[in-house]
Structure 1
Amino acid sequence: MDRITRNRNADYRDFPDKIDWSTWDPNMHATLLFILKGKEVLLIHKKTGLGAGKINAPGGKIEKGESPEQAAVREVREEIKVEVDSPKEMGILRFQFVNDECLALHCTVFCASDFQGNPSETVEAEPFWCDFDKIPYERMWADDAFWLPGMLSGKKFDGEFVFDGELMLWRSLRWR
Structure 2
Amino acid sequence: MENGKEEPVPRVGVAVFLLRGKTVLLGKRRSSIGDSTFALPGGHLEFGESFENCAAREVKEETGLVIEKMEVLTVTNNVFLEEPKPSHYVVIFIRAVLRDSDQVPQNLEPNKCDGWDWYDWNNLPKPLFWPLEKMAQSGFNPFPID
Among all aligned residue pairs of Structure 1 and Structure 2, give the percentage whose two residues are the same amino acid: 22
Give the number of aligned pairs. 130
Report the 3-state secondary structure (helix = DSSP H, G, I; strand = E; otherwise coil) of the residue aligned with 2:130: coil
* Aligned counterpart, 2:142: 152
Report the 3-state secondary structure (helix = DSSP H, G, I; strand = E; otherwise coil) of the residue aligned with 1:77: helix
* Aligned counterpart, 1:141: 129
Structure 1 stretches of 5 or more lacking a match?
Answer: 1-24, 156-176
- 1:44–1:58 contact (8 Å) kept in structure 2: yes
Q: How far off its partner does 1:69 sit?
A: 1.6
Q: Are residues 152 and 26 of structure 1, via their aligned partners in 2, closer, same or farther at CA, if it must alter by over 3 Å?
A: same
The 1-side partners of 2:69 and 2:90 are apart by 21
The 1-side partners of 2:92 and 2:117 are apart by 22
Question: Which is higher, the Rg of structure 1 or of structure 2?
Answer: 1
- 1:90–1:151 contact (8 Å) kept in structure 2: no
Q: TM-score, normalised by structure 2?
A: 0.76
Q: How far off its partner does 1:140 sit?
A: 1.0
Q: Say which is worse superposed, 94-103 or 32-41, in terms of deviation.
A: 94-103
* Aligned counterpart, 1:40: 23
Q: How far off its partner does 1:27 sit?
A: 2.2
Task: Establish whether residue 72 from structure 1 lines up as the match of residue 55 from structure 2.
Answer: yes
Q: Are residues 50 and 101 of structure 1, via their aligned partners in 2, closer, same or farther at CA, if it must alter by over 3 Å?
A: closer
Q: What amino acid maps onto 1:103 in structure 2?
A: S
Q: What amino acid maps onto 1:144 in structure 2?
A: L
The 1-side partners of 2:72 and 2:132 are apart by 16
The 2-side partners of 1:144 and 1:135 are apart by 10
Report the 3-state secondary structure (helix = DSSP H, G, I; strand = E; otherwise coil) of the residue aligned with 2:99: strand
State the superposition RMSD in angstroms.
2.3
Q: TM-score, normalised by structure 1?
A: 0.65
Q: How far off its partner does 1:51 sit?
A: 2.4
- Of the three residues 104, 109, 113, the one matched with 2:97 is 113
Which gives a bigger RCO, structure 1 or 2 (Cα 8 Å, sep 6+)? 2
Q: What amino acid maps onto 1:131 in structure 2?
A: D
Q: Say which is worse superposed, 121-130 or 87-96, in terms of deviation.
A: 121-130
